[in-house]
Chain A
Amino acid sequence: MPAVPADLLPVAAEIWLALVGMALLMFGAFRGHRATRLIAGLAVGAFIVAAVLIIGPASRATLALGGLFVVDTFAVFMKTLVLIGAALTLIMSLGYIRREDMERFEFPVLVLFATLGMMMMVSANDLMALYIGLELQSLSLYVIAAFRRDSLRSTEAGLKYFVLGALASGMLLYGCSLVYGFTGTTRFAALAALFAAPGAEPATGVVVGLVFIAAGLAFKVSAVPFHMWTPDVYEGAPTPVTAFFSVAPKIAAVALLLRVMMQPFGGLEAQWQQIVVFISVASMLLGAFAALVQTNIKRLMAYSSIGHIGYALLGLAAGTEAGVRGVLIYMAIYLAMNVGAFGCILAMRRQDRMVEDIDDLAGLSRTHPLMALALGIFMFAMAGIPPLAGFFAKLYVFLAVIEAKLYVLAVIGVLSSVVAAYYYLRIVKIMYFDEAADPFDRPIGRELSLVLAGTGVFTLFFFVYPRPLLSVAQTAAAALFP
C-alpha cells in the first residue's frame, strides 16, 4: 500500500466525506429511492468517522494543500459542531422524509456535500478556498430548500434563497477581487502580515473590499440588514431542512466570519468593528421585536435565530480572545437548543399532517407532558434564564463585551433579550395554561425522542459540569490569536 502523503493527513476528513458522498451517490443511483433510509444512516456513520478523523490527530495548527487549508484547534472545534449539527438533523429527518413523500436518496447525499462545504469553509486559509467552500455549501442548500418540488412554498423558498444567495456570493466575490487587486494576494497569512505592519494605512479599495466581504458573510449568517430571506426560507423549506439551516450553516458561517475578521483582517479591526457592532445590534433588536407578532412557529424560530446571531456577533464586536471564546460557547449551546426545539416542531403532527401554528401547541402539557417539558426547557434556555445552558451562552458573551468596555452594547443586548423573553415564555404559557387542543400524533418516533432527550439533558444540566466545553472553547479561541 502506498504511503499517504503527509500533506494530505490534515485533509483526511474532507477527502473521506467527498469520497463517501460520491460512493453513496452511485449506490443510490443503482439501488433507487428505496435505499434512502440506508443512505441516510450511512451518511450519519460517515459524519462520525469524519469527526474521529478530525479530533484524533489534531493538536497544533497545520497548513495543507499548498497553504490553502488550515487545521487548528479552532477549526477542529467548529467542524465538530458542524458535524454534530448535520448528523442530528439528518437523524431527525428520517421519520419526516418517510412520511412526507420526500424519500429520495439525493437528500442525504446533498446534506453530506453541504457539510463538506462547511468544513472547507471552516478550514479556509485563502480567499479563493473560502469562496469554493461557501459555494459548495450554498449550492447544496439551495437545492434542499426546494427539495419538495411539488410544494409551492418549498420551491418559492428555494428560488428566493438561490437568487438572494447568488447576489450575496457576488458581493463577496467582488470584495475578494478588490482585496486581491489592492494587495496582490489572497492568502490569509500574507494579508494579515500586510495589515499588521506598523504605520501602514490600508488603501481605500481594501476597506471597500472588506465591507463587501462582511456584507456577503453577514448574508450567510442572516444578520440584519441581510436577513430578509430568512423567515420566508425557514417557513417554506421542509421542516428538517429548516432545522439543518438553522444550525450547521450558521455555525460554519460564523466560524468563517470569525476567522476572516480575526486573521487576515485582524489589523483592520478599527475598520470592521463598527460594521460588526451595527449588524449585531440591529440583529438583536429585530430578532426581539419582529418575532413578537409571529403566529407560525418556523417563522418565529427564524427571527429567534436572527436574534441569536446578533448575540453571538457581540463577542466578535469585542474583538478579544474572551469574545471569540464567548462566540464559540454560544454556538455550541445554540446548536443544542435549536436542534431540540426543531425536534419538537418536527413532532407537531396531527392526523398525519404537519401543523406549524403556535396556537396548535395549546395545552400540550396535558396531552404530551414530556414533549411540553422538553420544549419548555428549550424556550427557557433560549430566553436565557438561569440555570439553563442558554444563560451561560449569553453570560460569556456579555462578560467579554463588558471587559472590552462596550457598555452600551451590553445594555442593548440585555434589554433586547428581555423583550425576546416575552415570546419564548408565551410559548410556555400556551403549552401550560391554555385550553388543550387536539393531541398530536403518537408515537413521535424513536430517533426523535433520543435527540430530544439528549439535547434536553445537555441544555438542562450544562451548569453542573461546564468545564470541558469551556476549556475546549478556550484553546480553540486561542488559535485565532497566535
Chain B
Amino acid sequence: MIVAALAFYLFAGVTVGSAVMVIAARNPVHSVLFLILAFINSAGLFVLLGAEFLAMILVVVYVGAVAVLFLFVVMMLDINITALREGFLQYLPTGGMIGLVLFVELVLVVGGWSLEPELAAPKATPTPALTELSNTEALGGVIYTDYVYLFQGAGLVLLVAMIGVIVLTLRVRVGVRKQRIGRQVARRREDAVELKKVASGDGA
C-alpha cells in the first residue's frame, strides 16, 4: 500500500511541478518538453487508478502526436518570447483575480459534491467489474465485433479528413526541384564525377 501511496505522490508531484514549468519556462521548447513530462506522469496516475487503457492512449496520442506537433509548431514559428512577456505584470492583477474566483468556485463545487444514488447504478447496461476483465480486454472484446460499424465509420471519417487536407492545401507547382530517389540511387560514380588531367601551369 505504501508503495502505491509513494508512487502517487511521486507522479502527482512531478505532474504539478512540470505543469508549473510549462507556463514558467522561458524557452517555449522547454515548455513543450515539460508538457510531455506532465502527460507521462498523468499516464502514471491513470495506471494507479486501474485505467491502463487510458494511460496508454494518453502516451500514444498526446505524447506521440499532439506534443510532437506542438514542438514542430514552436520550433517553426518565430515567437518573440520577450515581447510576449512584456505585459505580464500589467495583466497580473486581473488574471490573479480571475484565478482566485475560479479557485473559490472549484472549492465550493468540490466541497458540496456528492453522487446521486441513481447514478451509482447505470440503468440499462451494467459494466463488468474490473476484477473480471481489464479495460483493454473489455474494449477489445466489443470494438471489432459489436461496434465494428462505428469503427469502420470512424475510419471513413479519418479518410475524408485526409482527403480534405490534401484538397485544400496541396498545390502542384511547376519549376520546383524535387528529389527523385530512383535517379539518386541509380547514379553511378562514373556519371557524376569526371576526372580531368590538367597539365600544371594550364589552370589559369
Given A120-B153, A181-B119, check contact A104 B124 (CB 8 Å).
Answer: no
Within 133-167 of A, Cβ neighbours of B (below 8 Å) are at: 133, 135-136, 139-140, 142-143, 146-147, 149, 158
Render A272-315 as a binary contact track against B, CB cut-off 8 A, 1 for contact. 00000000000000000000000000000000000000000000
Is B125 engaged at the interface, CB distance under 8 Å to the other chain? yes
> Is A143 in contact with B164, judged by CB distance below 8 angstroms?
yes
Residues in chain B near residue A68, CB distance under 8 A:
147, 149-150
Provide the bound-state CA to CA distance between A129 and B157, in Å.
12
- Whether the pair B124, A139 counts as a contact (CB closer than 8 A) is no
B123 A194 Cβ-Cβ under 8 A = yes
Cβ of A379 within 8 Å of any chain B Cβ, yes or no, is no
Chain A residues within 8 Å of B123, by CB = 183-185, 194
- Which residues of chain B are near A18, meaning CB under 8 Å? 152, 156
Interface residues on B, range: 20 to 34
Question: CB of B87 within 8 A of chain A?
Answer: no
B23 at the interface (CB under 8 A from A): no
Segment of A105-113, A322-330, A425-433, A434-442 in the binding face? A105-113
Q: How many A-B residue pairs have CB under 8 A?
A: 85
Contact pick for B157, options A66, A109, A136, CB 8 Å: A136
B149 x A143 contact (CB < 8 A): no
CA A132 – CA B166 in complex, angstroms?
Answer: 22
Cβ 8 A contact of A139, one of B116, B145, B157? B157
The DSSP consensus for interface residues of chain A is helix
A183, B124: Cβ atoms under 8 Å? yes
Is A173 among interface residues, defined by CB-CB distance under 8 A?
Answer: no
Q: State whether B124 touches A203 (Cβ < 8 A).
A: no
Residue of B nearest to A190 (CB): B124
Task: Please classify the interface of chain B as helix (H, G, I), strand (E, B), loop, or mixed, using the class held by over half of its residues.
Answer: helix
- Bound CA span A190–B163, Å: 37
The minimal Cβ–Cβ distance linking B119 to chain A, given in whole angstroms, is 7
* Bound CA–CA A104/B170 (angstroms): 12
For B153, the closest partner residue in chain A by CB is: A132
Closest residue on chain B to residue A65 by CB atoms: B149
Instruction: Report Cα–Cα, A106/B160, bound state, in Å.
Output: 10
Contact indicator per residue, chain B 101-133, by CB within 8 Å of chain A (1) or not (0): 000000000000000101100111110000000
Q: Are B163 and A136 closer than 8 Å at their CB atoms? A: no
Q: A110, B167: Cβ atoms under 8 Å?
A: yes
Question: Within the complex, which residue of A25, A109, A149 is in contact with B168, where a contact is CB–CB below 8 Å?
Answer: A149
Is B61 part of the contact surface with A, judged by Cβ < 8 Å? no
Instruction: Give every chain A residue within 8 A of B154 (Cβ-Cβ).
Output: 132
Residue of A nearest to B126 (CB): A184
Q: Which of B122, B149, B161 sits near A183, CB closer than 8 Å?
A: B122
Q: Is the CB of A194 within 8 A of B124?
A: yes
Q: Mark B161-202, 1 if CB is under 8 A from A, else 0.
A: 101101110000000000000000000000000000000000
Q: How far is the CA of A185 from the CA of B127 in the complex (A)?
A: 11
Q: Does A128 contact B (CB under 8 A)?
A: yes
**Is residue B16 contacting chain A, with contact meaning CB distance below 8 A?**
no
A136 contacts B164, C-beta separation under 8 Å: no
Choice from A66, A110, A120, A158 contacting B160 with Cβ under 8 Å: A110
Quote the shortest CB–CB distance from B158 to chain A (angstroms). 9
Answer yes or no: A227 CB below 8 A from chain B CBs. Answer: no
Q: Is A349 an interface residue (CB 8 A)?
A: no
A69 at the interface (CB under 8 A from B): yes
With a cutoff of 8 Å between Cβ atoms, the chain A residues found around residue B163 in the complex are 25, 106, 109-110, 113, 143
B contacts, CB < 8 Å to A? 116, 118-119, 122-126, 145-150, 152-154, 156-157, 159-161, 163-164, 166-168
Q: List 10 A-B contacts (CB under 8 A).
A: A22-B159, A104-B167, A106-B167, A113-B156, A113-B160, A135-B157, A143-B168, A158-B168, A187-B124, A203-B116
